[in-house]
Structure 1
Amino acid sequence: MYKAILVDDDVAVLEFLKKLIPWQRLGFELAGEYTDALDAIRAWEGRYPELIVTDIGMPGLDGLSFIRLVQSEEAGSRFVILSCHDEFHYAQQAVQLGVQDYLLKETLTPGGISDIAARVKARLDEDRRLKTEVDRLQSQANRSQSADKEKWLRDLLASPYADDSTVLSRLGEYGLSAEPGHFLPVLFRAHRYRDALGRYRQEEAVKFIVENAAEELLGEERDVLFLGFSGQSFFLLHAFRKDLARNPYDEAAAVADRLRQAFARVLKLEYSVVIGEEACGGAAVKRRLAELAEAGERLFYSDGAVVAKAAERLGEFNREDPFLYHFEYAERFNRLLLEATGDTGPAADAFAAFLAEKRFQPSNVKQLVWKLALDMLLKLKLGMAYDKEKVQQDIGQITHIGELRDWLADFLREAVGEAERIAKKSKKTEIVDAQNYVRLHLGRKITLEEAAEHLHLNPSYFSRLFKKETGENFIEFVNRSKMEKAKELLGGGSGKTVEETAIALGYDNKSYFVKLFKQHFGSSPGRFL
């Protein structure tokens, strides 16, 4: 609904217009009546309503001057003039001001005003429709250019070679002149990107909101270009002249700090910033952007959202393969499932601390975490409400070690809960406890009497109960569990020999272990090495 106000020094006219015109039915909210145009200006300055009905001949500020003043503030209001004068020059001035209708008060009727209001509303509706369409087309054009810039940047960074003139020409098309001669790139990287996705739901929404906010904040910066790269990060490219009067690093840092604070305050998004090294020429721009993207990866292990220069040492990555530790942490997380402890925070803390100490390449870390998560999903026969591709996508979106720790703690908590649900689904609690007891003590000999004592049950009763609930006797379950563990140790990258595997599972006699293994799998354990 649109707003309308009445301005006339004749109170009787105001009462007539207020009471006899069905403003609500016509699509207007009557938002004010004024006997003095200056009072209307004070009440509505900067936010004038869509329709203003005003008299011409008023003391102080007359109607035509009132209209000129409102229009000087670039208000989009439409005007209807009421007048006691039928002289041509009043009507002429009204037309020049773009007034919609000019009515003589002596011919004023409710029907006449209603017809005018209906026509004004139709024009306002059409204006709104056209504005919506223009905004849509403008947004579409902006998104198209943004997508084009992003694709160009990705292609540029992926290319082994860049031609000076081609790069500079494209920058010019995007609004950044090469005339200053020198460029300084700045990388913005989301500190905890999954937090951003949690707030704005989709990557495209994050990119759109951040780019629009950045473009608005950079409105007065003539020599700065926004270059979107992904939802996780974007670049600013500053063009500058080489002189002693200006320090481009200080200027870039000031702009970056202004954006960081605005993003944190308004969008609730934290960004780290890395200021690159200056470049002269298109090929150098490509090289500096690539260096900056690589430097941004090192923010994975930062203490928090930081501002740094690429020239500063952000810490080198460990070239060691993190998969050397896969078996160790697969065992730890498997034990966590068996023990079914509710607090998974300490396990996630320990793993994150290990990664932070080792400083592996983040992409390799994410592959390791994905493999560990997949191992658990397979153990639980994918019973969790997790989609494998979604898990892989979630891990790929992580930008900081702290974010990884939180995701892992949540995942482990879900896994432990699912393990408990599966175990209790079709078995008595005593049987679940007995099976977990065996799995937790596979490294030594386990007797039926020992398990029964652990459960405070009579051995004979426990033996019958176990057979009834599982379909196999207790010793068969122990041997099967040990053989399955042996196969996992031999083929899972533990590095253990057959003899070491036998000892690790509590078998002093290697030959006996080999015999049991062959009975269970139909082949010798050496085949799985």
Structure 2
Amino acid sequence: MKIILVDDERIALEHIKSVLPWHEYGYEIAATATNGKSALRLCGEIQPQIMIVDIRMPVMDGLELIRAVSELKLGVKFIVMSAHQDFEYARQAISFGSVSSYLIKHEVDRDKLLHELDKARKSWEEGEKQRRQQRSEQLVEIVTGAELPNVMKELQAAPPFAMMLIQGDSPFTAVPSAAGRSDTLQPLKWTSCEISLCSGQPDWQLVGEFALNRSQRIALFSQKNKSAALMRDAFRKLAAAIHASINRHNERSYSLYYSFQSSDLSLLPHTLRKVEAAARHAVFCGKETIVCADDLPLPPQDGAAYLPAARTFRLEELLEGMDQNDPKRIENAIQKQFHSLCHPGWDLSGLYETIHTLTGLMNQRLSGKGLPETDLMMAEDEPVYHIDQIMNKFNETIQKLCSSSNEYDRISNKLLKALDYIHAHYHEDINIEDVSRSTGISASYLHQLFKRELERTFLDYLTEHRINQAKRILSREDAKMTEVSARVGYRSSQHFSQVFKKTTGMLPHQYRHGGYAQ
């Protein structure tokens, strides 16, 4: 906590400096001044939390200094000192509201000074909490586009600005409607450590911050030296320090997206839309990233659809590669398609369409082999955060599916008949005896086939298929839990919930509200 000492007697200054081992108690004497005018200038430059001020000084006395600093609304707390028991001065000083205490110089000792410092610190912290809340409310009004010139004036901030959006990393899901569920995830802990990092920077100062939702936060910074060129590198270093601190104090990882606005406070709504767009395109950046939204190939913000030149899906080339079991041709077709989604600009809607097309194509092949459909984007074993991971996942799976020696072809016709029955009747109350009667295969032999060819029991396979179907319903529909359980073959919603949690590690409603994106 930074302190400025102000006294026209240098002996008095040296005495106060020697009374305490300041750093041991969390205090720093940032500067000293011998008159109020010099102290006022230092206050604007250093922005201390506490000032210890003599009452009687030349040029500008203590009362004038306190009045001038209080008008700046910097939140500084004052400890007033005098060589005399001047109660009239004390009464005037305390009336400003920013004075924490009044001390007589010759009575100041270590314990008394430490007591008054701690009282001033507590008062400053309480006031700072209120000021932060007020700034947050003002910022919300400004960045959401409200025409409030008085609010802009009260914020006491001027360009150039830097806006930072802090977002919790979530695995990509190919269900666009689920993308808005990030506010149901674990809330971001914005601690005093991050505030301290911001306040201690020489080039950028924190104007205010507020929560967009439970996993996103906005922080606005103003460059201190207005005459200097835009200090991009300095802000990048600040962002890296905040990023490291946040990821250290939170269980999940976070990414930062920032943008500069050098002209006008009223243009901040546009800046907010830009960093929000960058965060929506997180799959193009990956996890635990720090990126400047100004440098990203984002789609235009005017609502116009972004259509890359190479948008046409190369389905014919891919199908030929699959029919010919040509790994290189399959890989080239998939790589060209994903490349077209990133160049010349990022195409998120095109990514959803690509995943939908590839998933449908893959499931056609699986169905032709009598196997259950799959959704690579909902796999529990390997969550994806980057578009390259999605591309590689589809490439590996389709290559495997088309390979002449792939594991799917090793499933016997007898077991395929059993799987067909399960896929058609999983929503009913079936058991292995039902499958046995339908296929003409004994129940004991079916048990052996499941264990030998799929390395799981009949019940394991049936449960897995039912839960996968339940996941599809939960992520895409708003059906009641009793309906969901009935549609996947469970008479009791309670039993369904127990099986779902045992299989996935979470309850159905947790999965529906974004748990699959943990």
- TM-score normalised by structure 1 residue count: 0.41
Q: Higher Cα Rg: structure 1 or 2? A: 1
